[in-house]
Amino acid sequence: MSQPSGEFVRVCEVGPRDGLQNEPARLELADKIDFVNDLSECGFPEIEVGSFVRPDRVPQLADTLEVFNGIDRRPGITYSALVPNLRGLDRALEAGVDKIAVFTSATEGFAEANIGCSINRSLELFGEVVAGAAREGLPVRAYVSCVISCPYDGPTPVEDVRSVCERLAALGVDELDLGDTIGTATPEAVTRLYEGLGPDLEPSRTVLHLHDTNGEALACAGRALDLGVRSFDAACGGLGGCPYAPGASGNLATEALARLIEERGFTSGLDRSAIRDLGQRMRRLLGTDGGGGAEPPTSPD
């Protein structure tokens, strides 16, 4: 297979976490382990394996520790997990994660609904978690949900996104991940977002996390590439959505994003055909149509 020679665009596969957490079907532990192991053969620099939130909040991911214990880690791949608080950090350390992710929102309505506290309180909690991760030498990603609009508060003022990002950066997080949680972004909205973030939050310093509710995720990714974004999240097969955002569709499909990156002359290091096959297998296992630009299954089983 010929490799494009362009600039590298980093794709973090979030299917095992963000994909599975909102699929109604529950995968067996062995299937989750197989999923991560197969993703490890597809060229990803990073795979988000699971979440150490309370099991009653996200029962689909209650066995994240067991998944970490069961996978074959390939050298060079960062295996990460969501961590909401110090207790979650302890469990993440027990699992031997390579990186953690904390998560808050640009809007108060979603923060209250998703994490049960105000943005201010979430940042207080993350201060402890980020400091604890730093002591262990673990890098920290910070998710900011609802950067375009919120299912509870409506359109999100970009100043609110900037404010939360600046406060997270001040806490010492390594990576800011901007989530279009309910998938209402348009290319024009992506341009307004990055213009509004200002010179201290250059596009190249952020990760963009798109959902395909309106079928525009790929167009938004294309615009983000034009603006200088070089890091994206995506989920194999377009799996998942968001359990706290009514109407949220699946994540941008990794195979569609990888194709776009290649068509634009960039390189991702991803094995597109392996990802497409794996996405189809996972959709069959989960009994879901998938979304996010995923290609339809070629066989009906």
What residue spans of the chain are helical by DSSP H? 29-39, 64-70, 86-95, 108-115, 119-135, 158-171, 187-197, 217-227, 254-263, 272-286
Active site residues: 242
User: Is residue 18 close enough to count as binding Mg ion by CB under 5 A?
Assistant: yes
> Which of these ranges, 10-18, 111-119, 123-131, 139-147, lies near Mg ion under the rule CB under 5 A?
10-18
**Exposed e or buried b for every residue in 58-87, given b needs 16+ CB within 10 A?**
bebbbbbbebbeebebeeebbbbbbbbbee
CB of 79 to Mg ion, least distance (A): 18
| Count of CA atoms in the C-beta half-sphere (13 A) of 95 | 31
Residue 22 contacts Mg ion per CB under 5 A: no
Find the helix or strand (DSSP H, E) in which 144 lies: strand 140-145
Total residues contacting Mg ion by CB under 5 A comes to 2
The single residue among 21, 107, 213, 251 that binds Mg ion, judged by CB under 5 A, is 251
**Shortest distance (Å) from residue 19 CB to Mg ion:** 8
Q: What is the DSSP string of 154-195?
A: EEPPHHHHHHHHHHHHHHT-SEEEEE-TTS---HHHHHHHHH
Q: Output the smallest distance, CB 18 to Mg ion, in A.
A: 4
Can residue 177 be called a binding residue for Mg ion (CB under 5 A)? no
> Of 39-47, 53-61, 73-81, 244-252, which part binds Mg ion (CB under 5 A)?
244-252
CB of 242 to Mg ion, least distance (A): 6
Taking the complex as a whole, the smallest distance from the CB of residue 26 to Mg ion amounts, in Å, to: 18
Assess 149 for contact with Mg ion (CB under 5 A). Answer: no
By beta-carbon proximity to Mg ion, the closer residue of 186 and 267 is 186
DSSP-derived letter for residue 105 is E
Closest CA to 48 of 19, 85, 17, 94: 17
CB of 100 or CB of 132, closer to Mg ion? 100
Q: Is residue 204 within 8 Å of residue 255, measured between CB atoms?
A: no
Contact call for residue 23 and Mg ion (CB under 5 A): no
Q: Which residue type is seen at 36? A: V
Nearer to Mg ion (CB atom), residue 18 or residue 112: 18
Query: Which amino acid, 198?
Result: G
For the bound state, the minimum distance from the C-beta of residue 14 to Mg ion, rounded and expressed in Å, comes to 6
> Considering the rule CB under 5 A, would residue 184 count as an interface residue with Mg ion?
no
Decide if residue 48 touches Mg ion (CB under 5 A): no
**Distance from C-alpha of 151 to C-alpha of 148, rounded to nearest angstrom:** 10
Only segment of 84-92, 158-166, 247-255, 293-301 that touches Mg ion (CB under 5 A): 247-255
- Which residues have C-beta within 8 Å of that of residue 116, sequence separation ≥ 6? none
Complex with Mg ion: residue 90 or 289, whichever CB lies closer: 289
The reply to whether 180 sits near Mg ion by the rule CB under 5 A is no
Positions touching Mg ion (CB under 5 A) are 18, 251
